[in-house]
Amino acid sequence: MRMGRRQFLGASASAVVAAGTLARGQVYGANDRIRVGVVGMRGRGDFLMRTLSRVDGVEVAAICDVDADVLEERAAAFQQNMDRPVKTYRDQRDLLDDDEIDAVFISTPNHWHALGAVWACQAGKDVFVEKPASYSVWEGRQLIAAAEQTGRIVQVGTQRRSEPQWQRTVERLRAGVIGDIYAARVIHFSTRPPVPFHPDEDPPETLDWTLWQGPATERPFSRKYVHYDWHWFWHYGNGEFGNNGVHYTDITNWVLGKGLPVHIASHGGRYGYEDSAETPNVQVTSATFADGTLFTCEIRGRYTNREGGIGGGNLFYGSNGYSVGTTCYDSNGEVIPDEDPPEDGNMMLLHIDNFFEAVRTRNQDIIRAKPVDGHISAAFCHLGNIAYRLGRDVTFDPETETFGDDTEANALLGRDAYREGFEMPKLA
């Protein structure tokens, strides 16, 4: 049965308002359309294509994926439900060469995020890049530099920054509702199945394996990588810490505002089965900031109980109370009522609306998840993963973003090599 356009789009998003002048000189009024391209069309890209089709003043003009089958399927769905075709590209560089595209949404695997965003900035496009903002600490700093040097609007897809309840909770915590915060904790419990031991083989004819790998140096194709389990291999992903944990480290960064920690330890492993994956399915990371504030994160990918009623989220501990998620408690464990509770809102649509408002106004200040925010929040995860991979504590200098004279740790701040033609430019 054909799915109707109303089912495809869902409820209408709020209109993107305000007008402004783009760097290329085109003036956008309230009724002008911004043409976007979506890169990476699996689950998240498909969601973005459908969501963007709900936003007033925005037109999905092109989609891109290295898998021909995925690209064809998404294009057919778009044609059927929107009653018009959409341009298709296999190589995102061809999409970036399209002068009709104003903004790019990047929903590729992690190892492509920063490079794709940098390329888009350099091509004169505004960018919405999914989390984590970077594959490595060094890449995050290059993304910040690209946005600054080109003047492009860059929004990171940590959408909780646009969720009204979290905006209000952060405001309350920073105002001292639970006193001075001495510790922050992140938990994420999500049961993950084992990754089978697939052999190396020739890639499917429909998949451009060179483009899929992009900046990552050559490895033989294996089904254990595509199209999701790349998360659990260091060459392409950042484990569960960098996958879902980054949403919560972003809130930690948002609340504390202390930058990056100075001492990090991380322990764990793959428990409950033997499989082909590399990243830990259980990981405990602890870190301290320069002022002594403590940060801990616990990832559990096996069967477990909930804590404080939540299986994933943030906990903060202060001199006069604590918080679990967006609920604040006093020293007796009683809920501290919010005297000015916010209205509900769809955080993803609000986050996208915020991006397009910044695109229209060219106002960098209103971006809720700036490149520097995405960099710090992702670097929390990268630093924990570095300590885990080394099997020892590390000491970090937030000013230089290095481990001092620890050459072994410094080697993990970025890739040891990039594939020819897909090098990350050194901008900072």
Contacts of 166 (CB under 8 A, 6+ apart): 160, 251, 326, 347
List the helix and strand counts (H, then E) for the chain.
13, 16
Which residues is 187 bridged to in the sheet?
298, 313
Predicted confidence at residue 32, as pLDDT, reads 81
What CA–CA distance (Å, rounded) separates 165 from 265? 32
Just give the CATH number of 5-161+348-370: 3.40.50.720
pTM (2 decimals)? 0.92
Q: Which CATH architecture has domain 163-339+375-410?
A: 2-Layer Sandwich (3.30)
Q: How many CB atoms lie within 10 A of CB 274?
A: 8
Please tell me if the domain spanning 5-161+348-370 has the same topology as the one spanning 163-339+375-410. no
Predicted confidence at residue 83, as pLDDT, reads 94
Which residue, 41, 144, 156, is CA-closest to 92?
41
Residue 304: burial class (beta carbons within 10 Å; 0-12, 13-18, 19+) = middle
Vertex 213: Cα angle to 207 and 215 (nearest 5): 150
- Domain extents in the chain: 5-161+348-370, 163-339+375-410
Predicted confidence at residue 1, as pLDDT, reads 31
Predicted confidence at residue 5, as pLDDT, reads 34
Predicted confidence at residue 31, as pLDDT, reads 55
pLDDT, one tens digit for every residue, the chain (428 residues) = 333 433 333 333 333 333 333 334 344 455 589 999 999 999 999 999 999 998 999 999 999 999 999 999 999 999 999 999 999 999 999 999 999 999 999 999 999 999 999 999 999 999 999 999 999 999 999 999 999 999 999 999 999 999 999 999 999 999 999 999 999 999 999 999 999 999 999 999 999 999 999 999 999 999 999 999 999 999 999 999 999 999 999 999 999 999 999 999 999 999 999 999 999 999 999 999 999 999 999 999 999 999 889 999 999 999 999 999 999 999 999 999 999 999 999 999 999 999 999 999 999 999 999 999 999 999 999 999 999 999 999 999 999 999 999 999 999 999 999 999 999 999 99
